[in-house]
Structure 1
């Protein structure tokens, strides 16, 4: 399973999102710190979920980072998180 697929599965299991995008932005970071041949090092996550209702932005981001703790410690160098309105 690719890192993107793992991220998608973990966030889906944890948050039952109404919308979820996992975007591999690794190629635009070619030559930067943490970049590896083959990509899957720099990601952007766009997520909308009712599970974040009432949480601060910091708490929302911490929840995503907690769900992806193993990936952030191992294979993911950078993660941008965009929490979208759960409409």
Structure 2
């Protein structure tokens, strides 16, 4: 089986969990090179921008918890930092 990147794995997990209308997984690792948490892999810091109907009527904190739950062990194990911008369609 071909090894996929952490970025691809995040994309796949969030697509399966939320069927998002919009999903961007941005690798911010290069801007953190040499800083605390940089493991040298080039895949330690990410920003996720996700829009999904699953987030309608859900607080910002709960949306972040939902995303972290969908990602399982990735945050904290293979991803040092994860910024999450989760919204429902229409910006809610």
TM-score (norm 1): 0.94
Structure 2 unpaired stretches of 5+:
none
Residue 47 (structure 1) aligned to one of 22, 46, 50: 50
Residue 82 (structure 1) aligned to one of 82, 85, 88: 85
> Is the partner of 1:20 in helix, strand or coil?
strand
Distance, in Å, in 2 between the alignment partners of 1:35 and 1:73 is 12
TM-score (norm 2): 0.89
Measured at CA, do residues 55 and 63 of structure 1 come closer, stay the same or move farther in structure 2, by a change above 3 Å? Answer: same
Match of 1:35 in 2: 38
What is the Cα deviation at residue 83 of structure 1?
A: 1.6
Distance, in Å, in 1 between the alignment partners of 2:57 and 2:88 is 12
Match of 1:12 in 2: 15
Distance, in Å, in 2 between the alignment partners of 1:57 and 1:37 is 31
> Please, which moves more after superposition, 68-77 or 46-55?
68-77
Check conservation: 2:55, 2:88, Cα contact below 8 A. no
What is the Cα deviation at residue 42 of structure 1?
A: 0.1
What number of residue pairs does the alignment pair up? 87
Residue 63 (structure 1) aligned to one of 61, 66, 84: 66
